[in-house]
Structure 1
């Protein structure tokens, strides 16, 4: 659902006659609620249950798909808000639910590590499949009719997911708000290591969002003609490769502390974005750099999930992730406003900020490693 809804992006809006200013307006309308509402959704999932929030994810996608079928200006605004909130849930909801179910079934921690890289790997594979499906749905001659087809497919998928989730799983009773507030204060806001981990997560989210917004304009700069649809699966394939490398560094022939692995990955990603920001490159070199960046992200995502497993209790995991996304969402909104309306910053400046975010995340991982030497983490999960 995430992939089908996001394949066409700007092209879909342009096809239905929206100007650049209107596109920016709708992006800002969609991004703004994620700062407050999106930040609270993770805590809401911890309080009312992960299953209910994952159902909310499906309902939001269904609502967005229905709005796109009636492509009018009010419905575009509503669809943009629904998709932004659904994307916020996607970043924490299913991971948190999977970890809780994993512990409930009594599986060991090493099998959970396998699940993290498989989730990243399969997510990238499903996004490639979504591109294939969306292109197939609009491949006939009646383009106006078939531009609605991806939304129809998304609505059907959302309904199937709602039925499947509602019928197949049950949850234990949620905690009370008072208990949750005390746990949040004790384990999250009073623990320097979790704050470092949260800032690193926020930096990753900002850098990835900035990349997906600017990668196409960067490649087609100076009027270069490129088949972006051929490059998109290459980027996701690189992320799949990066996630597949994760077991080699954790349990394989190249054992490293997770923090060390992340320091190297963040540093390489920061260098790549710095080169893109400050030096003109040919298309081949740009694509290679973009693939290297995504390979690093593919390694980073399961590594951060593993650290969350070591440091964050299950009952606070969703809240911790969503709180860490608030700074990145605010930064993305600010970039939209400054670039889209005021034109006061260039694309290269935003990419440079993303590079700084990567270096900042590397520094957080170094500090996390140093703090771990003096105060070993408390593992909240089965060994």
Structure 2
């Protein structure tokens, strides 16, 4: 007589999605009504608070986030599906992430020296175009697949600095106020999270019928988006040239970074944040399935990104309204809450619903911290100049 084991499945309820969406909508819609009455009711109504060039930039940033999101959905699935050995997968990942870690800071100095972070964004789009064409033509089991991982990692490294540096420089050259830049920072985090959700929906829809066709269609979609991005960077928006010579700009960068402890501390804080996010994405799936129940990770991922969107909408309330909290205080509280949330997970195993709640709290903190650090970096850079 056989023994039947009833499989248990855990899925987030629809009310959770509705709650996150309503919170995001309420935070954005109610902010102008509680904002300083002496200013415009909407930051989008005043061109000085949110100029047209920033709107065009956000469209370009959404395309870049979508390209990043398409490849992040697969992870190492493509390698495993194509029969690549574990040793080759490990070598490719180590080479890719290691090169990104070492070369991304050097590329930041390089593009700043040659006076064009828009050129860095152009290289980012070209790298994604190359990766998409490679995946369409070359089989995944090719011995030089490490070159593909290298290109993707370099594109991710460029994505981490190029767009923020570009919008800061344009804001300074065009003489807009800091509040316009603050609006752009939190909207960048908001739009990036929304684009990642959209990328996941697109890729899962393409993979629903056939895996091979889905992978090829995802590459085609990336090629199409990359071509649009290249057109937007080259034709849509010209960057204002630097007035200082190349040697002077390079020397000023060295002085501003290595002579100011605040900039070094901001860099260290951002590095700690990125490290914690990377560790989270490695451990979140094994943690959720540890009790043996079936968990649809694809349904939980939008909740995490939605929480990050919600966290980003808190920024205008803290920095644009009547709040007396300093940015530094908000960052201390946010880092503390994120640390406590992950400490509860690390201390003892919790019910899946509790884990998802803690993970959402962690990503809400991420959504608040990323634009806050960007604002602090900008304030410090303006002070130094």
Query: TM-score under structure 2 normalisation?
Result: 0.78
Q: Considering only aligned residues, what root-mean-square deviation do their CA atoms show, in Å?
A: 1.7
Following superposition, the deviation at residue 253 of structure 1 comes to 4.4
Moved more, 174-183 or 279-288: 174-183
User: For 1:283 and 1:156, how far apart are their aligned partners in 2?
Assistant: 39
Find the counterpart in structure 2 of residue 50 from structure 1.
Answer: 117
Match of 2:20 in 1: none
Which ranges in structure 2 are unaligned for 5 or more consecutive residues? 1-66
Structure 2 matches for 1:186-197, cutoff 5 A?
A: 186-197=255-266
Task: Tell me how far apart the structure 2 counterparts of residues 12 and 218 of structure 1 sit (CA, whole Å).
Answer: 23
Q: Contact 2:79 / 2:141 at 8 angstroms: preserved in 1?
A: no
Query: Is this contact kept in 2: 1:102–1:112, CA < 8 A?
Result: yes
Q: Bigger CA drift: 261-270 or 247-256?
A: 247-256
2:142 alignment partner in structure 1: 73
How many angstroms does 1:281 deviate by? 1.6
Shift of 1:89: 0.8
Q: How much has 1:218 moved relative to structure 2? A: 1.9
Residues 41-61 of structure 1: CA distance to partner in whole angstroms, max 9, x if unpaired?
A: 111121121111100000111
Deviations 1:112-152 (A, max 9, x none): 11111111001100110111111122222x32222221111
Match of 1:198 in 2: 267
1:156 to 187, 200, 224: 224
Residue number in structure 1 paired with 2:332: 263
Match of 1:64 among 131, 141, 154: 131
**Distance of 2:229 and 2:118 partners within structure 1:** 12
User: Residues 178-226 of structure 1: CA distance to partner in whole angstroms, max 9, x if unpaired?
Assistant: 2133212321101111111111111111111111222112212243311
CA separation in 2, counterparts of 1:222 and 1:19?
29
- Equivalent in the alignment of 1:335: none
Q: Distance in 1 between matches of 2:297 and 2:255?
A: 47
| Stretch of structure 1 that moved more, 243-252 or 293-302 | 243-252
CA distance in 2, matches of 1:302, 1:35: 22
Task: Name structure 1 gaps, 5 residues minimum.
Answer: 314-377
Shift, 1:255, TM fit: 3.1
Equivalent position of 2:99 in the other structure = 33
**Are 2:223 and 1:179 aligned?**
no
Residue 237 of structure 2: aligned partner: 169
SS at match of 1:223: coil
Match of 1:360 in 2: none
Q: TM-score scaled by structure 1?
A: 0.78
Secondary structure, counterpart of 2:239 in structure 1? coil
After TM superposition, where is structure 1 displaced by more than 3 Å over at least 4 residues in a row? 19-22, 172-177
- 8 A Cα contact 1:248 1:255, kept in partner: no
Of 244-253 and 176-185, the range deviating more from structure 2: 176-185
Alignment length, in residue pairs?
A: 315
Q: Work out whether 1:304 is the aligned partner of 2:369.
A: no
Shift of residue 177, structure 1, vs aligned partner: 4.1
In structure 1, distance between residues paired with 2:288 and 2:79:
20
What is residue 234 of structure 1 aligned with on the other side?
303
Residues in 2 aligned to 1:176 and 1:29: alpha-carbon distance in whole angstroms: 35
Q: Secondary structure at the match of 1:147?
A: helix
Q: Residue 209 in 1 paired to residue 275 in 2?
A: no
The structure where helix makes up a greater share of residues is 1
**How far apart are the structure 1 equivalents of 2:143 and 2:154?**
17
**1: CA distance, partners of 2:236 / 2:362:** 38
**Alpha-carbon distance, 1:85 to partner:** 0.8
Correspondence for 1:358: none
1:7-26 C-alpha deviation (Å, 9 max, x unpaired): 12132322222344433222
- 1:93 and 2:162 matched: yes
In structure 1, how many angstroms separate the alpha carbons of the residues matched to 2:368 and 2:143? 40
Distance 1:227 1:37 in 2: 36
